[in-house]
Structure 1
Amino acid sequence: MNRKSGVGACPPRMRTHAGWKVPSPTRMMAELGEADEAELQRLVAAEQQKAQFTAQVHHFMELCWDKCVEKPGNRLDSRTENCLSSCVDRFIDTTLAITSRFAQIVQKGGQ
């Protein structure tokens, strides 16, 4: 394809990918309507929440694993299972308490 002659060239702000003409992300965002943009923002926020939740679970498990598991084997003994369960429960309870308190502070500040 000859770009100078314009034969087979993509329009401005278009790129090719595997033979397809693909608009740039900037152009795609500019063409979204308000409803589409709001929906996209909602989806992005939901994905961020999922990622944050997953990271939190991994963090809890890493901390609790280090605290409770002395020597990994084929099965966890009852003491290790109880320790892991209690450890995760404490983290969840603490996170919920902090979140609740933060929501109260925000609500009082908004009134």
Structure 2
Amino acid sequence: MSDFGSYGGGSMDAKKQQVMDQVRSELALANAQELINKINEKCFARCVLKPSTKLDNSEQNCLSNCMDRYMEAWNIVSRTYISRVQRESQNMGGSGF
């Protein structure tokens, strides 16, 4: 049998669930990293016009507002996407996520 057969203890269903949980966790981490990278890229370009050794008050406010709006938009898009995937999965007779 392959190495996968000896992975962890318990039934094959438990092993599958463990692998799926790990994949979900890694995807969540990748999404969080993507969010942070995009916020840094977009908000810095928009708010910090003359980089220096420190941020002035207007830059700090701009960055704070930009990050808040970007995260709100990200959350809306993520919820909508997940809802659509679940709906399509159910329409196809799948079990969903």
Would you call these one fold, judging by a TM-score over 0.5?
Answer: yes
The higher-RCO structure (CA 8 Å, 6+ apart) is 2
Is the counterpart of residue 30 in structure 1 residue 5 in structure 2? yes
Give unpaired runs (5+ residues) of structure 2. Answer: 92-97
Q: RMSD of the alignment, in Å? A: 2.4
Give unpaired runs (5+ residues) of structure 1. Answer: 1-25
TM-score (norm 1): 0.62
C-alpha displacement of 1:104: 4.7
Is the counterpart of residue 59 in structure 1 residue 35 in structure 2? no
Is the counterpart of residue 43 in structure 1 residue 14 in structure 2? no
Higher strand share: 1
Moved over 3 A (4+): 100-111
Higher helix share: 2
Give the SS at the match of 1:67. helix
Is the counterpart of residue 82 in structure 1 residue 57 in structure 2? no
TM-score (norm 2): 0.70
The 3 A distance-change label for structure 1 pair 99 and 67 is same
* Higher Cα Rg, which structure: 1
C-alpha displacement of 1:41: 2.0
